[in-house]
Structure 1
Amino acid sequence: MSLNTRAIAALGAVVVVGAATVGTSVAIASGQTEHSSHRATLTVGNSSIVADPLCFNGGSPITEDLQQECQQKATQALAEGTLPTRDVVVSDRVGVGVSPNVADTGWWAFTNGGSQGQGGRFSLFSYAKGPTFSGSQPASQVLNASGKTLVTVVEGDKNSDNPVAVWYFQLNTQDS
């Protein structure tokens, strides 16, 4: 038995319509109606969370005034518990990823954890252009003693004083 070209075309149309329906359904179900080109992802163990920047000036450098507002927004969000959050145990590994266009601009990431010899700050990813993932670090090295660790991701050119975008995540240390 052979298929004729009409049957093949009809089958192809069903596959294309089905794929489009599934793709649209996934986007609607996740609340994503359009693509965001400025995203950061925090990975803890086998789970991750994706966020838009807390501070963003449409792709232009964030001015000094906007940086002050950004820090106030971050402080308030941290106090209210509204930052994107992940639970972590010390045996987990932690990493950060960014969208390709963020990587093209350049980015770095750090936590307010780490040893006092590091100034109470741990670098998850030193400044670089191109790579989209920091690699994963042992959580035991990136966490601070308070049980709540702030992860900061910054997009910007290292030769500029003003970042382009800033993301904040919170890690909540759990008992193993």
Structure 2
Amino acid sequence: MSLNSRVIAALGAVVVVGAATVGTSVAIAAGKTEHNSHRATLTVGTTSIAADPFCWNNGSPLTDDQQDECKTKATQALKDGKLPSSDVSASDRIGVGVSPNVADTGWWASSNGGSTAQGGQTSLFSYAQGPTFSGLRAASTVLNSSGRTLITVVEINKKAEAPIAVWYFQLNGKNAQDSQDAGSNG
């Protein structure tokens, strides 16, 4: 007995509707009622942290005042330890990912660490449109010596020349923290 094309189409429609229902049910069960289309993810070793933009102007480029305010708030959040953060050792590998629509606009990522020959800043991902992941880099090449390294991810349309969204993550050096703990116990 063979299936005709109407039966096959009907079965296909049932599968699509069923998959959409399951996907929606999972999102509702997880407490997510809307899709997060602007996310960045920091991967350290085998763990990752996803975050909404730290600075965002509803999809429009940030004004100069908004950019200044963003930098001020980020500096304070880093000082207060209130940025999404991850512990990292020099032997870990680090990568950054973004949502597909962020990748379509264009993005780049960097750290405030690295060799002094690079001015103390290391590119994790040079500006590009399309790719959603930076690839993995050795943490030792992007960490700074303070024990706290700031990772910056920027969504930007090169034509607008102003960021659309900015994410910040904090890397806490395990070796630096272990040294501080040992010093305070001694």
Task: Quickly name the TM-score band, shorter chain normalised.
Answer: 0.7 to 0.9
Query: Which range moves more in the overlay, 156-165 or 112-121?
Result: 156-165
Quote how far apart the aligned CAs of 1:27 are. 4.8
Gaps in structure 2 of 5+ consecutive residues: 1-10, 179-186
Task: Report % sequence identity.
Answer: 62
Pairing of 1:1-80 with structure 2 (within 5 A): 16=18, 20=22, 24-25=25-26, 27-29=28-30, 31-80=31-80
The alpha-carbon distance between structure 1 residues 37 and 158, as it changes in their structure 2 partners (threshold 3 A), is same
Deviations 1:74-125 (A, max 9, x none): 1121122110001101110000000000000000000000000000000000
**Partner Cα distance (1:159, 1:145) in 2:** 36
Q: For the Cα contact (< 8 Å) 2:27–2:33, is it kept in 1?
A: no
1:136 matches 2:136: yes
**Partner Cα distance (1:145, 1:113) in 2:** 8
Quote how far apart the aligned CAs of 1:173 are. 0.6
Letter of the 2:67 counterpart: Q
How many residues end up aligned between the 2 structures?
161
**Partner Cα distance (1:32, 1:55) in 2:** 21
Kindly report structure 1 stretches of 4+ aligned residues shifted beyond 6 Å: none
SS of match in other structure, 2:65: helix
Match of 1:105 in 2: 105
Gaps in structure 1 of 5+ consecutive residues: 1-8
Greater share of helix:
2
The alpha-carbon distance between structure 1 residues 82 and 27, as it changes in their structure 2 partners (threshold 3 A), is farther
